[in-house]
Chain A
């Protein structure tokens, strides 16, 4: 690593001020869209020697929206819609993390039916998030067709979630004390129908993409992440499980009613991009299993606890960890007994996972760096918050 730096162009990639390089082959390349109106704006400064990367440095902050600061300006209930916008692909998990933290703080007991519905919608949302990742990753690798199939399946989930929540992307469904509204009567049938549909589509995904020689060539042995490094960077979620560590918040510190369901925590020991890919595809099946179990044992009852309109939790602090599609989401709320939170800290899994990129991209081909970046499944609004 240090040898590479010794022959590198001296300068600071963040401020883009450089001294002339040692040889003519050194090249500074800015990768990524930079216009503020595009979504998911991640800029990566690369220093290249020919086609090989010497240094890679992600530059953040293009869509920083001050969610944590906004929390201090709004009441507890008013902050809920922000959570759906932190990570637009797995909004439910963020909803849940925040609502759960506030419930712990105020000692609110959530009705059982609400807990079950929360699991069902979060898992459906996880499937949709993985499907978007799958399509977008393959798009990054140059395959156009898969994203159309993925979006076809995802659209079915969005229809189900729309019928329950009213929205298709940025949900504010999980509220403090339960869920916003009850699910429609045909929720169970539609979920089962979808689960069966996805299960029948997964072999097609495997034939078309997973077993394809081109994909294997682009993923196998690329961006190998040793467990030790994953731990040091605080990687979580499929990135960590792709290095062989069976760590999943749903299993390690079960929240809600996750301890009542049987599901597999897939791990692959290789640590390369292909392992992370396979973990996510296996998680699609695992989530299908959970959804099936939830909707077939959905208890009756109220869907929300009584929460006063003027909600004031007692003084104190509370913390809640949730397994998002990208890893461990953690929300820490501190209250001074007033109407507004004193401080809300959001831990985004994508931030830690992204930090790995500089390390993994060193010395690889430029095209492989794209594959590594995609395999980390970054959602930039979540990283910037």
Chain B
């Protein structure tokens, strides 16, 4: 008797389980088959950081080469270079010697490299920037065979973004002319 009861509860469990999985079998597919399809919620995704261009000149970064982001970064992911001002009495060398930002007299970075292989996407750099010159890109598809490729030249990225983007509305030049 006990055995029959046990077999019966077992069968009931089986039927219930099959019912649940059976329903799921006919439900809508929820998986996004990645290489063939892509997800559509990337607008809120925090990809690697990138430079923000000025509103009136999208290929000029807002960055003033103060170096705070490089200092705030837990992983030392930034290399920001500016020309070192020549010492007194010395002629400026050509090409100029580069040193890490900040450098006296340098108001824009000459090189802005992010080593994405080090970055942990924590956002300290974005938070700390006094000019709001950094933001997160929405690019999750960074694939590379070497670490070198992940050293992203953010200035070049900004320039190509500015070149590819729609022409920004021309600022009201007339009022300037007059």
Residue-by-residue, is B65-87 near A (CB-CB < 8 Å gives 1, otherwise 0)? 00010001110000000000000
Measured CB to CB, the nearest residue on chain A to B122 is A81
Measured CB to CB, the nearest residue on chain A to B9 is A213
Interface window among B38-46, B55-63, B90-98, B164-172 = B38-46
The smallest C-beta distance from A174 to any residue of chain B, in angstroms, reads: 12
Which of B13, B68, B136: most chain A Cβ within 10 A? B13
Q: Give Cα A208–Cα B22 distance, bound, in whole angstroms.
A: 11
Residues of A within 8 Å of B21, CB to CB, are 145, 208
Residues of A within 8 Å of B124, CB to CB, are 77-78, 80-81
CB-based contact B10/A213 at 8 Å: yes
Check if B103 is an interface residue, CB within 8 A of chain A: no
The smallest C-beta distance from A117 to any residue of chain B, in angstroms, reads: 15
The smallest C-beta distance from A13 to any residue of chain B, in angstroms, reads: 36
Residues of A within 8 Å of B89, CB to CB, are none
The number of residues on chain B lying at the interface, defined by a beta carbon within 8 Å of a beta carbon of chain A, is 26
Q: Give Cα A172–Cα B44 distance, bound, in whole angstroms.
A: 15
CB-based contact B45/A172 at 8 Å: no
CB-based contact B74/A166 at 8 Å: no
Check if B128 is an interface residue, CB within 8 A of chain A: yes
CB-based contact A162/B41 at 8 Å: yes
Q: Give Cα A180–Cα B120 distance, bound, in whole angstroms.
A: 15
CB-based contact B45/A81 at 8 Å: no
Contact A166 B72, CB 8 Å, known A204-B20, A208-B17: no
The number of residues on chain A lying at the interface, defined by a beta carbon within 8 Å of a beta carbon of chain B, is 31
Check if B123 is an interface residue, CB within 8 A of chain A: yes
Please classify the interface of chain A as helix (H, G, I), strand (E, B), loop, or mixed, using the class held by over half of its residues.
helix
Residues of B within 8 Å of A79, CB to CB, are 74
The one of A82, A159, A167, A211 in contact with B41, judged by C-beta atoms closer than 8 angstroms, is A159
Measured CB to CB, the nearest residue on chain A to B12 is A213
Contact A152 B30, CB 8 Å, known A166-B136, A172-B123, A213-B9: yes
CB-based contact A163/B41 at 8 Å: yes
Check if B24 is an interface residue, CB within 8 A of chain A: yes
CB-based contact B13/A166 at 8 Å: no
CB-based contact B45/A78 at 8 Å: no
Q: Give Cα A166–Cα B42 distance, bound, in whole angstroms.
A: 9
The smallest C-beta distance from B90 to any residue of chain A, in angstroms, reads: 33
Q: Give Cα A77–Cα B124 distance, bound, in whole angstroms.
A: 8
Check if B163 is an interface residue, CB within 8 A of chain A: no
Check if B156 is an interface residue, CB within 8 A of chain A: no
Which of B17, B72, B73: most chain A Cβ within 10 A? B17
Measured CB to CB, the nearest residue on chain A to B27 is A152
Q: Give Cα A180–Cα B126 distance, bound, in whole angstroms.
A: 10
The one of B20, B68, B121 in contact with A309, judged by C-beta atoms closer than 8 angstroms, is B68
Residues of B within 8 Å of A165, CB to CB, are 46
Contact A166 B20, CB 8 Å, known A78-B72, A78-B124, A79-B74: no
Q: Give Cα A152–Cα B136 distance, bound, in whole angstroms.
A: 27
Check if A6 is an interface residue, CB within 8 A of chain B: no
The one of B13, B17, B46 in contact with A167, judged by C-beta atoms closer than 8 angstroms, is B46
Check if A142 is an interface residue, CB within 8 A of chain B: no
Q: Give Cα A161–Cα B16 distance, bound, in whole angstroms.
A: 33
The smallest C-beta distance from A194 to any residue of chain B, in angstroms, reads: 14
Residues of A within 8 Å of B44, CB to CB, are 162-164, 166, 184
CB-based contact A213/B122 at 8 Å: no
Residues of B within 8 Å of A212, CB to CB, are 13, 16-17
The smallest C-beta distance from A259 to any residue of chain B, in angstroms, reads: 30
Check if B127 is an interface residue, CB within 8 A of chain A: yes
Contact A207 B74, CB 8 Å, known A162-B41, A172-B123, A213-B9: no
Q: A81-B120, A207-B17, A208-B17 are in contact. List 13 more A-B contacts (CB 8 A).
A: A77-B72, A78-B124, A152-B30, A162-B41, A163-B41, A175-B127, A184-B44, A204-B20, A208-B21, A211-B16, A212-B16, A213-B10, A309-B68
Of all A-B residue pairs in the complex, the 5 with the closest CB atoms, nearest first, are A166-B46, A81-B122, A78-B74, A163-B44, A172-B122
> Which A residues contact B (CB, under 8 angstroms)?
74, 77-82, 145, 149, 152, 155, 159, 162-167, 170, 172, 175, 180, 184, 204, 207-208, 211-214, 309
